């Protein structure tokens, strides 16, 4: 019996120690081949071409897989895209042949792919796992063979005041997956919300610990529609050539896929367009994308209202390195931007959330000094349990004065939908502004959280941008928003507006809206809004049967986003609506995928091995082995394991000494 006890104690020690390791890797699981045989990492190169016309861009991405092994391989690769993209094209290049893909219902597409894979046919599939996160699978790559997967998508550029921007995500920050449930923080509530929208397990199977070679080339063909005062890529060295009104931008050298590519351009003084309208005729409708910049005086007020500002800073493990330094610098700068009539507080979070003060305090020299000391001692570790921080920040749903929440984070979580629902449920009269930190933040979460929070999203990609970007943000915070935005017309009933509810606009922000009207019908429309200082309205140009390509798909993509944001819809209702829209417009979505199959079998009898291609860690990331550090109970489990092992040793020696004592007594 005693031997069994010793064995159980030692087993507990081993299991506890093992739980530490497996718990750590459960956040982002390392992938492994399906056999014990190891292969050289499957090389992957990416070539990106962007064609930008005013505020609409068409992007082509070619991913080339090369099999340097002596085995037939299946490659699996996860990659980021902008969060508003309408992915509609998949081509598989095999030598001189091109196999065109088609959009199918997601499960059907997977069955098509698996059947082709098992039959030895070359096949590829593109799945969407998030609006900004996609997975490519490519089956039956022959030894020594290269196959290129080509995808295309449509998207819109970002406009803020006088700056136009386009961001192409290249890196993926490791995502933290909380332990299944989001618990309400209120002492009076024990409600549990199930984790229904977390990342699927296959998405976490990409090893980010060993840095692979992932060369990327980028070319941009830019037709801005006006003369430029500025054209730059702040994080990459580029070549720029001008040909009349057209600009061609390319990287000086291939870059690694560990830092997002950003291109900024600004018009010369007085040339910024106030209105841009694009239209396309498709089937029985006209589809439109409108960009309109309200005049600045509608949002400028001399009266500064007192505000309560809650700063929320992410100090979890994924923020380690440059991201933490940027966040701290940003928060220290923001504290100096507070007015004498403002109150403030700071919430810091990793695996738990903490307030600096029990409640918001008046801005004074003493309270700022306390805040500076608090910020300076912050270190990045622990899991990204963002729900607790959101609940603490939104604990006053109906507060006076105006309450603004500034959230500094990289957004490296896998349960975004839970947080969106939480923000929508708790927001009240609060306004939530997100500040994306790091070389590859989760822009899908940052943008969407700001939309649900009726605020804005600001991206800081370098510590050199902290001052300028936060100055711009605080300029917006100081001035009233343009609210109650509406699109009306004589035939308003025939207008299908996406999104259905237009979000508030802050100083320098344009209105972006997609809408659908009846074919051959000239509809006179007007857009209007209100602020504390001015009621604004403007007529919209009338365009019938336009010929701008891809506008219908942008409208459909926005409609899908609106459906997914409606938490009152049942899962089945949401699925049916998204599936119909995606199939009608041939788009990749939550419920549809692109699949391409070569009709001729290539592999007959040979075995097929699978390899998950690794993603590089984002530039500046210092997390241990690519994990958000401390995101599990690993340290506690390790401690338990060590203590249990020591207990087993002590118990063993105590039993041995007792037996020796008994034997000695019996021999006397």
Rounded to whole angstroms, what are the CA distances from 116 to 70, 103, 105, 267, 613? 21, 16, 16, 51, 21
Q: Which of 637, 638, 648 is nearest to 10 (CA)?
A: 648
> Would you call 28 exposed, middle or buried from its count of C-beta atoms within 10 A (0-12, 13-18, 19+)?
buried
What's the chain's length in residues? 668
CA gap 464, 232 in Å, rounded? 15
Q: Which of 640, 330, 268 is nearest to 466 (CA)?
A: 330
CA gap 410, 617 in Å, rounded? 14
Residues 6+ apart with CB under 8 A from 333: 466, 467, 470
Residue 496 bridge partners (DSSP): 516
8 SS3 class: helix
What does the domain layout of the chain look like in residue ranges? 2-25+639-667, 272-298+483-566, 307-478
Options 3.40.50, 3.40.1000, 2.60.40, 1.20.1740; CATH of 272-298+483-566: 2.60.40
Which DSSP category does 414 fall into? S
| Tokens representing residue 402 in the block | 């105006």
Extract the residue ranges of the chain whose pLDDT is less than 50: 10-40, 181-197, 201-209, 625-634, 662, 665-666
Residue 49 confidence (pLDDT): 97
Residue 319 confidence (pLDDT): 86
CA gap 408, 435 in Å, rounded? 5
CA gap 443, 434 in Å, rounded? 10
| Tokens representing residue 213 in the block | 């070679």
Q: Which of 164, 152, 150 is nearest to 53 (CA)?
A: 164
Q: How far apart are the two ends of the chain, measured CA to CA in Å?
A: 27
Q: Is the sign of the CA dihedral 201, 204, 206, 207 positive or negative?
A: negative
Residue 149 confidence (pLDDT): 95
Distance of alpha carbon 77 from its chain centroid, rounded? 17
CATH topology of domain 307-478: Rossmann fold (3.40.50)
Residue 405 bridge partners (DSSP): 310, 432
- Please report which residue ranges of 427-512 form alpha helices under DSSP H: 443-452, 466-478
- Residue in the block written with tokens 């500025």: 230
CA gap 631, 178 in Å, rounded? 8
- Other CB atoms within 10 Å distance of the CB of residue 60: 16
Which tens digits make up the pLDDT trace of 133-185? 999 999 999 999 999 999 999 999 999 888 899 999 988 877 777 765 444 43
544 SS3 class: coil
Q: Which of 616, 185, 201 is nearest to 414 (CA)?
A: 201
Q: What is the pTM for the complete model shown?
A: 0.79
CA gap 450, 269 in Å, rounded? 30
CA gap 222, 216 in Å, rounded? 19
631 SS3 class: coil
| Tokens representing residue 373 in the block | 């000391």
Q: Are 256 and 482 in contact (CB under 8 A)?
A: no
| Tokens representing residue 270 in the block | 């007085």
Bridging pattern class, strands 72-80 and 133-141: antiparallel
Residue 306 confidence (pLDDT): 81
Q: Are 532 and 481 in contact (CB under 8 A)?
A: no
Residue 648 confidence (pLDDT): 61
Q: Are 347 and 353 in contact (CB under 8 A)?
A: yes
Q: What strand order describes the sheet that includes 511-518?
A: 275-282, 285-292, 511-518, 496-498
Residue 607 confidence (pLDDT): 64
| Tokens representing residue 28 in the block | 């982002």
Q: Which of 154, 173, 132, 170 is nearest to 261 (CA)?
A: 170
Per-residue H/E/C for 294-344: CCHHHCCCCCCCCEEEEEEEECCHHHCEHHHHHHHHHHHHHHHCCCCCCEE
CA gap 149, 162 in Å, rounded? 37
CA gap 609, 283 in Å, rounded? 45
Residue 441 confidence (pLDDT): 81
Q: Are 502 and 530 in contact (CB under 8 A)?
A: no
Residue 102 confidence (pLDDT): 97
């Amino acid at each position: 019996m005693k031997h069994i006890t010793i064995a159980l104690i030692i087993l507990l020690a081993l299991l506890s120690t093992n739980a530490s390791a497996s718990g750590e890797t459960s956040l982002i699981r390392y992938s492994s081949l399906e056999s014990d045989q190891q292969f050289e990492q499957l090389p992957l190169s990416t070539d990106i071409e962007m064609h930008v016309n005013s505020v609409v861009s068409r992007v082509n991405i070619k991913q080339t897989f090369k099999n340097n092994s002596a085995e037939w391989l299946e490659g699996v690769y996860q990659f980021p895209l902008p969060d508003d993209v309408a992915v509609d094209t998949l081509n598989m290049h095999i030598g001189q042949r091109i196999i065109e893909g088609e959009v199918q219902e997601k499960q059907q597409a997977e069955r098509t792919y698996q059947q082709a894979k098992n039959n030895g046919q070359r096949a590829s599939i593109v799945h969407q796992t998030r609006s900004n996160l996609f997975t490519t699978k490519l089956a039956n790559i022959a030894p020594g063979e290269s196959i290129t997967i080509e995808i295309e998508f449509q998207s819109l550029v970002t406009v803020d005041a006088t700056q136009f921007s386009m961001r192409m995500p290249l890196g993926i920050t490791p995502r933290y997956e909380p332990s299944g449930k989001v618990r309400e923080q209120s002492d009076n509530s024990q409600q549990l919300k199930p984790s229904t929208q977390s990342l699927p397990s296959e998405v976490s199977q990409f090893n980010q610990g060993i840095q692979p070679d992932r060369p990327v080339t980028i070319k941009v063909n830019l037709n801005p529609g006006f003369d430029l005062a500025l054209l730059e890529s702040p994080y990459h060295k580029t070549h720029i050539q001008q040909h009349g009104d057209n600009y061609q931008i390319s990287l000086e050298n291939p870059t690694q896929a560990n830092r997002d590519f950003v291109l900024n351009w600004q018009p010369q003084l007085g040339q910024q367009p106030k209105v841009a309208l694009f239209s396309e005729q498709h089937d029985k409708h006209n589809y439109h994308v409108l960009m309109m910049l309200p005049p600045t005086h509608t949002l400028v007020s001399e009266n500064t209202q007192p505000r309560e500002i809650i700063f929320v800073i992410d100090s979890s493990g994924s923020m380690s390195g440059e991201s933490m330094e940027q966040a701290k610098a940003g928060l220290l700068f923001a504290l100096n931007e507070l007015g004498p009539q403002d109150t403030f507080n700071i919430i810091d979070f990793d695996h738990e959330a903490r307030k600096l003060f029990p409640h918001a305090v008046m801005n004074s020299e003493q309270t700022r000094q306390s805040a500076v000391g608090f910020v300076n001692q912050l270190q990045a570790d622990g899991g990204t349990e963002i729900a607790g921080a959101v609940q603490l920040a939104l604990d006053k749903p109906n507060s006076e004065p105006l309450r603004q929440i500034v959230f500094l984070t990289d957004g490296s979580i896998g349960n975004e939908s839970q947080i969106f629902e939480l923000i929508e449920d708790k927001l009240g009269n609060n306004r939530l502004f997100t500040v994306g930190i790091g070389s590859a933040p989760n822009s899908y979460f940052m943008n969407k959280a700001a939309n649900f929070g009726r605020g804005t999203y600001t991206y800081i990609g370098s510590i050199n941008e902290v001052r300028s970007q936060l100055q711009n943000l605080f300029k917006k915070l100081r001035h009233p928003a343009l609210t109650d935005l509406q699109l009306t017309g004589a035939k308003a009933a025939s207008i299908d507006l996406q999104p259905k509810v237009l979000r508030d606009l802050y100083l320098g922000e344009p209105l972006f809206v997609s809408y659908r009207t009846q074919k051959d019908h000239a509809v006179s429309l007007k857009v209007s809004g209100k602020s504390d200082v001015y009621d604004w309205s403007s007529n919209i140009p009338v365009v019938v049967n336009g010929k701008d390509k891809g506008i219908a798909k942008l409208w459909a993509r926005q409609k899908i986003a609106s459906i997914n944001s409606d938490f009152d819809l049942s899962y089945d209702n949401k699925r049916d609506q998204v599936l119909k829209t995606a199939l009608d417009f041939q788009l990749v979505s939550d419920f549809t995928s692109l699949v391409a199959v070569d009709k001729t079998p290539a592999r007959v009898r040979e075995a097929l091995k699978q390899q998950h291609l690794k993603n590089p860690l984002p530039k500046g990331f210092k997390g241990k082995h690519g994990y958000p550090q401390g995101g599990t109970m690993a340290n506690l489990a390790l401690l338990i394991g060590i203590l249990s092992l020591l207990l087993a040793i002590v118990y063993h020696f105590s039993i041995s000494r007792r037996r020796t004592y008994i034997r000695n007594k019996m021999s006397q």
